[in-house]
Amino acid sequence: MSLSQEERVMGYDAYITELCAKEDEALRGARKRAEKAGLPAIAVPASEGKLLHVLVRSINAKRILEIGTLGGYSAIWMARALPSDGKLISLELEQRHAEIATENLKQAGLSDRVEIRVGAALDSLATMRTANEPLFDVVFIDADKSGYLDYLKAALPLLRVGGLMLADNTLSDIVLDRTNHERTKPYCAAAAAHPALLSVITPALRDDHIDGLMISLKISDAQG
């Protein structure tokens, strides 16, 4: 069978989605509502949503912090892995995105488990640290790519030892250029070298191309 690289990636993703990550009405509706409202189509694909779901479940997470809500699609996948008394707090800059996400989470029956905080994530994170917000079991970074390193510094103190720091969009062609230090590469370098983190990047399929999710287990309170 002779397939182009694009066809191969699309086929792999379709296979994973069909086998393990079929969308139900709430997930399909969330995607459609976001599209209708003109939000960019940059939510994680279903296959990665399921990966996030499994990671959350695997450590019995009760508290999740998401940075970058968009229309709430990844929030639905993760919040569904929480127990009924669990909580996901999602930080979003755009009021309009937060409104669509609020509706999507309501339609998914998750309003009681998810809280969206509108504002620049770094400001929200600073407020959370000052307020002594209880620690999180999972942090998922998926906002502006240039901010990832700052989000790591600001969010790591809010993550419990044994918790997972997850970062989307961490594998693209720029990793092949050793002279390029843009986008999420500074984050990846810092997380990989951090003494408190045990890290790996797992490839994640995106329709026709490959991206990645960096998974870092917090193993101590060591300072970077």
Ligand X SMILES: C[S@@+](CC[C@H](N)C(=O)[O-])C[C@H]1O[C@@H](n2cnc3c(N)ncnc32)[C@H](O)[C@@H]1O
> Where do contacts with ligand X occur on this chain (CB under 6 A)?
42-44, 68-70, 73-74, 91-94, 97, 120-121, 142-144, 147
- Looking at the Cβ atoms of 90 and 216, the one nearer to ligand X is 90
Residue 35's Cβ-count burial label (10 Å; 0-12, 13-18, 19+) is middle
- Cβ atoms within 10 A of the Cβ of 220, count? 12
- Least Cβ distance, residue 15 to ligand X (angstroms): 21
- Least Cβ distance, residue 92 to ligand X (angstroms): 5
Strand order in the sheet with 197-206: 114-118, 87-92, 63-67, 136-141, 159-168, 209-218, 197-206
Kindly report the backbone phi and psi dihedral angles of residue 98, in degrees, each rounded to the nearest multiple of 5, phi listed first: -60, -35
- Least Cβ distance, residue 33 to ligand X (angstroms): 12
Q: Which amino acid is at 191?
A: A
- Cβ atoms within 10 A of the Cβ of 224, count? 12
- Looking at the Cβ atoms of 27 and 156, the one nearer to ligand X is 27
- Looking at the Cβ atoms of 44 and 89, the one nearer to ligand X is 44
- Least Cβ distance, residue 158 to ligand X (angstroms): 15
Contacts of 5 (CB under 8 A, 6+ apart): none
- Looking at the Cβ atoms of 69 and 196, the one nearer to ligand X is 69
Cα separation of 14 and 126, whole Å?
40
